[in-house]
Amino acid sequence: MSNLKNETGRNYKDTVFRTLFSEPKRAIELCNAVAGAKFNEDASVALYNNDAGSLLARYNDVAFSIDGQLIVMCEHQSTINPNMPLRFLPYVSNMILTELPSSDSVYRSVTAKFPKPLFYVLYNGKEKLNQKVLRLSDAFEVPPKGDDPTIELTVRVIDVNYRAQAPVLDASPSLKGYAYLISEIEKRLESGVTRDAAIKGAIEHCIEAGVLAEFLQSNYKEVIAMLSYQYDAEAEARVIRQEGLQEGGTTRACEIAKNLLAVGSMSREEIARITGLTLKEVNDLVIIH
């Protein structure tokens, strides 16, 4: 450990979750766990691009296809956003189009085949998980009838808290390791140690215990920076909630809202409530961001 730098950076706006499961073998492992699939670790994985120039730049976590059969979209959240089906909708439409052999496939007389899309929210919040399925139709102004020619998008919500010991954790050692890492950080924070000490202590404990050891050793500095950024943003949000916005606070609120959007751990509605911005103002920041 002595050859690794310990100072926490502030330039990593990615998440540990996304970095961990952007590795193809772990993506396959995650898919098998959440979807009950049985893909071999050498299956073909296509990770969808979320670089700045892509529509997916506004999508926060992992999205990939496996062997041209499944499109899997997973978002990791500490609060449940009831609008997740609506958020997934434009992204998956874009992904499906990229899976077609050509842009004119939809105009041909044969059915255009594409991978089956599956949607998951992996929840690690402190509140009890009550709602396990989110549906796009829940937001319809007029409830759908059984045979309506309408659209549906269903999102399964899975509790991945380490304390919950959900079967999905046993099916994915990487997901269980991630859940354990977060639980160790939270345990240290609750004991009163500083944020940086909690993060570093949890990481080094996991390495010694053989939990995600190779990943954490190889990405030690980056993992600290990403987790520090996440906890910084959440701490700033708590300060705003406790103290309220002062004169000129709207600009500061926008800055913090952007940080929270980048981290992706809170819904837009919760960000609006915490910062005092309107939902429209938060949505406008998403477009700018």
CA-CA distance, 32 to 209, in Å (whole number)? 25
Residue 30 belongs to a domain: yes
How does pLDDT run across 137-171, given as a tens digit for each residue?
A: 999 999 888 888 999 999 999 999 998 778 899 99
Q: Which residue has the higher pLDDT, 224 or 268?
A: 224
Q: Is 242 a residue whose pLDDT tops 60? A: no
Structural domain range at position 127: 16-243
Number of domains in the chain: 1
Say if 7 falls within a structural domain. Answer: no
* 4 assigned to some structural domain: no
For residue 275, is it within any domain? no
- Answer yes or no: is pLDDT of 12 > 70: no
- Percent of the chain at pLDDT exceeding 90: 41
Q: What pLDDT, on the 0 to 100 scale, is given for residue 220? A: 92
Phi, psi dihedral angles at 60 (to 5 degrees): -90, -25
What is residue 77's predicted lDDT score, i.e. its pLDDT?
83
- Top-confidence residue, 3 or 171: 171
Residue 235 covered by a domain: yes
Highest mean pLDDT among 173-187, 232-246, 251-265: 173-187
Per DSSP (E only), the strands in the chain are: 45-47, 62-66, 70-77, 116-123, 133-135, 154-159
Q: Residue 275 has what pLDDT?
A: 75
Mean per-residue pLDDT over the chain, rounded? 82
Q: Is residue 94 within 8 Å of 49, Cβ to Cβ? A: no
In a domain, 46, yes or no: yes
Measured CA to CA, the distance from residue 96 to residue 119 in angstroms comes to 14
221: phi > 0 → left, psi -120 to 50 → alpha, else beta; which? alpha
Q: How far is CA 250 from the centre of its chain?
A: 27
For residue 252, is it within any domain?
A: no
264 φψ region: left (φ > 0), alpha (ψ -120 to 50), beta (else): left
d(CA 72, CA 216): 25
Is the separation of the CB atoms in 106 and 61 below 8 Å?
no
Let me know if residue 276 belongs to a domain.
no
The better pLDDT of the pair 274, 156 is held by 156
Least confident of 74-88, 116-130, 268-282: 268-282
In sequence order, the 6+-apart residues with CB closer than 8 A to the CB of 214 are none
